[in-house]
Every structure is written in C-alpha cells, then in structure tokens.
Structure 1
Amino acid sequence: MLPEIITPIPGPRSRELAGKLRRHESQNVTYLAEDFPVFWQRAAGTNVWDADGNRYLDLTSAFGVSGLGHTNPQVRAALVAQSADLLHAMGDVHPTAVKTELCAQLSALTFERWGAGPGKVVLGNSGSDAIEAALKTSLLYTGNAGVIAFTGAYHGLGLGALSTVGIPFFREPFRTQLKEFATLLPYPFGPAGDMLRLRKELVATIQRRAIGCILVEPIQGRGGCVVPPAEFLPMLRTVCDEYGLLLVLDEIYTGFNRTGALFACEDSKVVPDIVCLGKALTGGFPLSACVGRADVMDAWPPSSGEALHTTTFLGNPLGCAMALAALAEHARPAVAAQVQASGQRLKSALEKMRSPHIWNVRGRGLMLGVELIKADGAPFTDLAIAIVTRALQDGLLLLADGPASNVLSITPPFSIDDEEIAFVAARLQEYLTALPGSIS
C-alpha cells in the first residue's frame, strides 16, 4: 500500500519517545533531530506504521532483513509455534533439534547445492559474528593471519571484523585498538574495472604478507551498492586456488534472493570456501551463519566440552525456527523470479529520472543505488541526506549509503508492486528537481 500520513512527522508520540531515548541511550547510537526519526510500531508486507499511526512505504527492508515482507506469515507462524515450546536452550552444550535441522539446511542450500560436498556451520547472533568466525577459520586452516579486504567494504563493527572494514569513518576512532592484519585493496567498479592491475596488487600483497584469505562482498552494500566487473569474483577464485588462500564471501546483505539469485555469487558461478550469511536469514531475528566446506571447517578441533567460539544464544530455537521457515520460502524459484522482475521494473523507473546530479543508477535485483554528485563530480552528500529527510515526510523510508553517504539505497521488500514503484520514482524525481541545492 502507498503511504498515508495522518499526523505531522515526527508526530507527538515519536517526539516523546525521542526525548526519552535522548536521556537514556548512548548519544552515538540513534540520530535524533527535530525532523528525525519516527518510531516504528508495527509492519506488514511493504508497509510500516509508526507510533503516531502514519503508514510508510519501506524502501530499506529494515536493513535488508525483510525481503520476504514484514511479519511474513510463514515466518511469524514458525516463531509463534516455537515460542509455545521453548524460548531458549543451551546451543553448544544441550542443543535443540531445530538447530540441527537449520545447520543441515544451510549445508543443503549452499555447498551441497553448489556441488562442493557438505558444508559445516558456525551460528552467531550478527553478521559481524559470522565474519569473525570466518576470520578465525581462515587462521586455523591456513596458519596465516593476514586478510585481503577491499576499500568500501562493510563487514561489521566488532573489533575483529572492523579490521577488515574499508570505510574510514568506522575504523579511525578505534585504530589504536585494531590489529592491522588486513590489507585493503581497491574494490573495482563497473564493467571497466582493471582486473589485470588488481591481480598484480593481489599477488604482490600475497608475496609480501602471510595471507590466509580474501574477504569480499559480491556486491558492496553499505559501500554504496557497488557492482564489480563480471570477471572480479572468478579472478579472485583463481588467485585463491593458485596461492592456497580461502575465498570468503560476505553474502550477509546480498544473500537470500536480494540480487535475484539465492546467492549473488551464483551469477558468476563462483563457489567460495566460506560464505557468511545473516540479515534475511530469519526475516527478523538476530541470527547469522558462517558456512564453509566441511574440510575447511574441520580445521576447528573437536569440542572438548568447551567451545573455542560460541555465544550464550548460539542456535536460539526461536531464530532457528524462523530461519527454517524463511529458507523454505527463499528456496522457491518463484521468489528469485519475482525479485528479478520487480528489480527490472524499479531500475527502469529510476533510470528514467532526470537530474544533472544523478551519476548512475546501479545494482542488481532489488539491491539498487542512485549515486548523487555535484557539478564538479564531488559526492553530493547534502542532497542525498535532504532527500532521505524529505522522503520521510511523504511516507518513504530511505537510507543514504556509500563512504560519503551520497548514494540513495533502495532495497525494498520483494513484494513491491507497480503502483508503489511509480510512486517512488515520481517522488524522487520531485526531490531531485525541487529541493534546495538540487540545481546547484
């Protein structure tokens, strides 16, 4: 459904809640201003309602989590059924059957489906957990601590994962606490990326440092929806094979049909050694997974009764039940087909917009970005932020991504329809034309 605004935004209840949050939450967590944010109350499908009753069209899928739609009926039913029996278990001591089933299903949908034999799983609570499990696995398997990652990368903010993040804003305040085990190389952009030059840089780094793995997003998400050349992942696979490295794919954002394939790496026909998953894995519960080839994951020693890498909530039965329901939906070919079709219509509508500040419209499936620049080619951060703020007044939930926050990130639930697409394109065109600074 299209947005419906019935009170000023933010409304009185949202403003009241913002005041309470300002008093009691760390000031670095939630951005609070006179015109931002609103407070979510409930959600269904492509829509979110705030605490004041306003209805929004969600173009974020809540950070990519709700691809199957907010409060997806199948996922919600699994949650309700599981909650009647068991809310919590002891995941690495006395686990549940549902954790066992989830690990088996993750293996089936990844390495078994790719023809690479069984996979083994380390579950976690966040994408950052999955990355750090992969980094530890790489060290145990190869004996080498070094990692090659890429500029613009976002792999989570735990201190281990943060060492591989290629966005300076997140790294710099904590640099003195970070162990510099990662080498950041330039992430290639578009079909014209220089693969020969990048390959030389990769090889030079491998010869200079003891590298265990290459960690990469098939399409960068927080980095601004950057789509690399088609040759990029195959080249990384070849380099890893030649030099005995692990290829670790961060599919936390791109996984589970976001790009129109169950996993984004499948478009390149590249099979990783480890894949990190999260976000849409459950459709709304904090659960992640590091899944690797069995021989790679068996670098971890058998448990002696004390796990080397675990959490209190590992394999929480609520999350596992939701994940099994979500995976059953994602495994249906019709879901990928829906994303491909809706993504083509949405991208076409965005490409028809006219503004001297649109550098490009890029992405795949329903993971799209509109990059905004000034007349001199510099990132137009102010315009992107102004659009995000103005869109909120019209009932559109948007984010600005990229290292300079100048890329409008558009990642709606998969069920976005033609009327909603037309509404989005019309509103964005209006903002690009009318907002202060939009014609500077």
Structure 2
Amino acid sequence: MQNAAIESRRQSALSRGVGVMTQIYADRAENAEIWDAEGNRYIDFASGIAVLNTGHRHPKVIAAVKDQIDRFTHTCHQVVPYENYVRLAERLNAMVPAKGDKKSIFVTTGAEAVENAVKIARAATGRQAVVAFTGAFHGRTFMGMALTGKVVPYKVGFGGMPGDVFHAPFPVPLHGGSVEKSIDALNYLFKADVDPKRVAAIIVEPVQGEGGFYEAPREFMTKLRGICDEHGILLIADEVQTGFARTGKMFAMEHHDVQPDLTTMAKSLAGGFPLAAVTGRAEVMDAPAPGGLGGTYGGSPLGIAAANAVIDVIEEEGLCDRANQLGARLKQHLASLRDEVPEIVDIRGPGFMNAVEFNKGDKPSADFANKVRTEALNRGLLLLTCGVYGNVVRFLSPITIQDEVFTEALGKLEDSIRAARSA
C-alpha cells in the first residue's frame, strides 16, 4: 500500500483539525525505528511526542500487556478494582517528589491529569483562580487550553476560555526574560488582576514542552515555592512531558530544591498505552469527595500493566544515567556545528530533553527550523519543531536507542542542518 493513497483517504475521512506532520504511514516499529507502509525506514526522534522513553514495543512492556490481556482488559476500577492499580499508585507515591504522605489517581490523558489537578486544588483550598505561564502547554480541553500560553493553533477559533485563569511570563533570557522580571510580573498580577487569596494553584512545567524546551531556573522554582507558601497556594508541577527519566532524573522537579504539592504525569508513564496520573500530598489528594474523581477508562488495566513494566525497565536499565549520556553527546555534536551554522543561537536541555533554536539574524526563524525538519525526514530521521515562534527543533528519541542507531541519527541531523543552510 502506498503512503499517497492512504493520505488521500485521510483527507477525505478525517477532520482537518487533526493536524498531521508527515505523510508517511506507520506499518511497524521497534525501539527507535519505524518502517512505513512502503517499507521505508525512519529513526524516530519524536517518540510519539515524548511517549516512548522506553522505545517502541519494549519486550518487557509488551509481555506485561499480553499477560494482562489474558486476564482481563476492562472492569472500570471504580466498579471492580484491581491490585496492580494499587501497586502502581504505591510506586508513584514513593518516587514522586512531595512532602509527607502521598496519594494518586489514574486517568487517561495528560489533559485529564491537568484538569483533575485543578479540581483537586480547588477542592483542597476552597479557591478558584489558577495561574499559568506564557509558552506553557497543558492540553486541548477547555481548561487545558485556558492554561496553555500559546494561541495558534491551540486556542484560535474556539471562543471564550474558562474564567479565573491568569498568565505570568515564563523566564526565558534568550527572549529578554529573567527570573526577576517573571517574579515581578507575578507579584504585579496579584496587585492588578487577582487577589492571591483567591488563587488555588500555580501550574508550571519544569521544562516547557511545546513552548520551546526552556528549563525553569532553580531560582525561579525556589521563589515560586516561596510565593505559594506565603499565600497558601498549591504548586502543581506538570511533568507530562518531562517525567520518567527524560531529563536525567525520574522527574524533572528532582533537579530543584523545592517540591510541588501536586504532579501531573502521562506520555511515557505507560510506554505507548493511554494512561495518566496525578500524585500529590495525601491531605490535598483526599479533598474531593468520593465519586468526584475518576473516569470509565481511567487506569485502564492494560495501561497500568504497561506502566509497572516501564518503571521496572527505567530502573533495571539505568535510563536516567543513559539519558544524561545521550543528551551530553547530542549537545556536544550540535555545538561542533556552531561555527559554520550561525543560525544556531542556543543548544539546551537537561538529560535527553534537548533542543536547538534557530534565528536568521536576530529574529527567530521558523522557516529554518522547518527546513531542518523536512531535510531530516527526507533522510529518514523524524524530528519535531516547537516554540512560541516555531523556531526550535526538539529531540525526543527513545532513551533505549541503540548506540549505532544514535550515531547514524547524529550524522543525518548534521547533514540536514547543512542542507537547510543551502536550501
């Protein structure tokens, strides 16, 4: 079957609102490689948008899911519960950063996790308002859109957003921001727009995902924690994209000296199976009444089985250390190109959550970033762009990528950047 034929059917069958980056159609995948319907091979530096830290079809994850299929596939945990749901909660409670005893819930998507974190924060504080940051991405549901700090394509054309959501600038020095400016803006927000005593939570990505892979400075996180403590506000860490060894720690908040009250998770939690979670301080998590949280598919038995296997793989294969090694090698390789590629203005990211940002002159260049992505695709390397200006290429290869495949990918990346300059 030809990719073009399937693409023609897609255009007739699917809403154009579901944007598709490539016109190659997956047939099979293994670890960091995908083969399309025509048999072409691609090295996957997208991982389904940060879902496959443990790679496509990791044998231990597949074995766990197959075993679960042979037992049962669905009961709805709120109707007939199951032990491995409880076991996974116990494991997350033990590893997610937060003070004191912790509890968890499971849902299906990252947006659901964010929505439930806001519900929990409102129930726990008796307050309504939520503060997020420019450049943030928290999902495509209405609350997720409201919290997201990027208009196109996430908010445009969808009408009014939920109220009592406010934004402060995220500190990005490359674009004129700083910790001092962000904190000053947040304090001014409390004077001009919303009484801090009405704010239930501040939600922040430790490393912005869609916003451009900008890492929150440690000083910024420390000051945020202080502001939350001063005003009785809960701090929510959105670890949907940063979690599960991607940044060289199990969770990105482990890079900071402070701890959140609530943490949202999804993506690589279950190695390609739909599962999301919220973990937080027990007294906060217990604020909603029974029945206030949950969902028919929340904590799917297949996703739960996969997630328990994913945690085993991360621990047994030392993927936090490997993320640091791969990220250092990638950043070193990109740095070696800076002299001949003046369009490179920044190379960044903790662990293996890395990005390169491109300008033309002193202006962000989405065109150059897209040329790099297109040239890479032509060479069999899947890349993603991101950033408010669309000028960032982010790297999300499986952390389990084989050394020889990683070396091959670096060569394709280098060739693609050079080709983009001459295109």
Q: TM-score interval w.r.t. the shorter chain?
A: over 0.9
Measured after TM superposition, the shift of residue 426 of structure 1 is 3.2
Measured after TM superposition, the shift of residue 353 of structure 1 is 1.4
Opposite residue 161 of structure 1, the aligned amino acid is G
Measured after TM superposition, the shift of residue 77 of structure 1 is 0.5
Query: Out of 347, 368, 387, which is 1:383 matched to?
Result: 368
Query: Out of 173, 177, 197, which is 2:160 matched to?
Result: 177
Deviation per residue, 1:316-356 (Å, 9 max, x gap): 11111111111222234822111111111111111111311
The correspondence of residues 361-376 of structure 1 with structure 2, limited to 5 A, is 361-375=347-361
Opposite residue 357 of structure 1, the aligned amino acid is E
Partner SS state of residue 360, structure 2: coil
Partner SS state of residue 184, structure 1: strand
* TM-score, scaled to structure 1: 0.90
Asked if 1:126 corresponds to 2:109, the answer is: yes
Aligned to 1:258: 246
The correspondence of residues 200-349 of structure 1 with structure 2, limited to 5 A, is 200-207=184-191, 208-209=194-195, 210-301=198-289, 303=290, 307-332=291-316, 334-349=318-333
Q: RMSD of the TM alignment (CA)?
A: 1.9
Measured after TM superposition, the shift of residue 427 of structure 1 is 2.9
CA distance in 1, matches of 2:9, 2:154: 30
Asked if 1:64 corresponds to 2:50, the answer is: yes
Query: Out of 419, 423, 428, which is 2:413 matched to?
Result: 428
Confirm or deny: 8 A CA contact 1:193 1:229 kept in the other structure.
Answer: no
Q: Evaluate the alpha carbon distance shift between residue 70 and residue 190 of structure 1 in structure 2; reply closer, same or farther with a 3 A threshold.
A: farther
CA distance in 2, matches of 1:184, 1:247: 15
Confirm or deny: 8 A CA contact 2:319 2:400 kept in the other structure.
Answer: no
Structure 2, gaps ≥5 residues long: none
Aligned to 1:3: none
Q: What fraction of aligned residue pairs are identical, expressed as a percent?
A: 34
Confirm or deny: 8 A CA contact 2:110 2:267 kept in the other structure.
Answer: yes
Confirm or deny: 8 A CA contact 1:134 1:290 kept in the other structure.
Answer: yes
Opposite residue 379 of structure 1, the aligned amino acid is P
Confirm or deny: 8 A CA contact 2:168 2:189 kept in the other structure.
Answer: no
Query: Out of 25, 44, 47, which is 2:14 matched to?
Result: 25
Aligned to 2:383: 398
Aligned to 2:130: 147
Measured after TM superposition, the shift of residue 383 of structure 1 is 1.8
Q: Does 327-336 or 51-60 show the bigger shift?
A: 327-336
Confirm or deny: 8 A CA contact 1:155 1:162 kept in the other structure.
Answer: yes
The correspondence of residues 412-427 of structure 1 with structure 2, limited to 5 A, is 412-427=397-412
Query: Out of 38, 47, 65, which is 1:79 matched to?
Result: 65
CA distance in 1, matches of 2:316, 2:411: 32
Aligned to 1:5: none
Partner SS state of residue 337, structure 1: helix
Deviation per residue, 1:297-330 (Å, 9 max, x gap): 11112x2xxx223321112111111111112222
* TM-score, scaled to structure 2: 0.93
The correspondence of residues 347-366 of structure 1 with structure 2, limited to 5 A, is 347-354=331-338, 355-366=341-352
